[in-house]
Amino acid sequence: MDKQAGVSHDPIDALIDSGVSARVLIGHQLCSIDWLAARLDHKFRLCYFDEDGSLSTEDVTAAQLLLRGEGLGWHPLEDEPTESGWPFLFEEAIYHYRNGIHWYASATSDTDGMLPLAFPRSVIEADRRRTERKTKLAGIRRQRQEAAKAKASAAEARATHAGRIVRLAERMHLEAHLAGRPISASAAKRKAKAWWRQWEQDIASAMQSLTDNQGDVQDGR
């Protein structure tokens, strides 16, 4: 292994030379370790709540990131990420890149962006407004979808009802003809509608009586 000035040319070896144990390295996804090793000279910053519950930030090196993450109780990401997700090293810490700094934060905003709370307030508030707009638009879309679904259900119910009336009218028309008292198709349809209205009223009345009787039983009457 070639070395110059005591620093390995292999980035992963450089992480080990910086004090990261092999045990810590193998706990992370290889693609993420490769990503980190290629950025040894980059700036990294942690954002978390300390033991007193105070918001803390801490600047670390690439090697210190793994060690401090372990010290903070952050666990290595379990699922292998896609290429765009290689920077996501921990289950508990969200990754962000801002102004040349790689951020890892377990103290994040409750907005869609889950921004580190140490970000400027204006940035977090802008993300909050975007989240609120998205939530509002999602609510509008949901209302429209529900309205469209209700409209479709109502149309289906009307079509079903109309089909029942047609079938009932055809049966009444045939029965009248067989009984020797023929009626017109329009008369059969009016008769079918009247029969169906009466049937619905009888059902509603029976259901109301059942409800009233159940109430009497519960009241001890």
pLDDT tens digits along 27-76: 999 899 999 999 999 999 999 999 999 999 999 999 999 999 999 999 99
What's the pLDDT tens digit per position in 141-153?
777 877 778 778 8
Looking at residue 219, its pLDDT comes to 61
DSSP-derived letter for residue 82 is P
Q: Model confidence over 62-110: pLDDT tens digits?
A: 999 999 999 999 999 988 888 888 999 999 999 999 999 999 999 999 9
* Distance (Å, whole) CA 57 – CA 108: 12
Confidence of residue 154 (pLDDT cuts 50, 70, 90): confident
Q: How confident is the model at residue 3 (pLDDT cuts 50, 70, 90)?
A: very low
Strand partners, 96: 103
Q: Are the C-beta atoms of residues 22 and 15 closer than 8 Å to each other?
A: no
In this predicted structure, what is the pLDDT of residue 192? 86
**Residue 9 pLDDT exceeds 70:** no
* Interatomic CA distance for residues 198 and 200, integer angstroms: 5
The CA distance from 30 to 89, in Å, is: 10
Tell me what pLDDT residue 7 has.
45
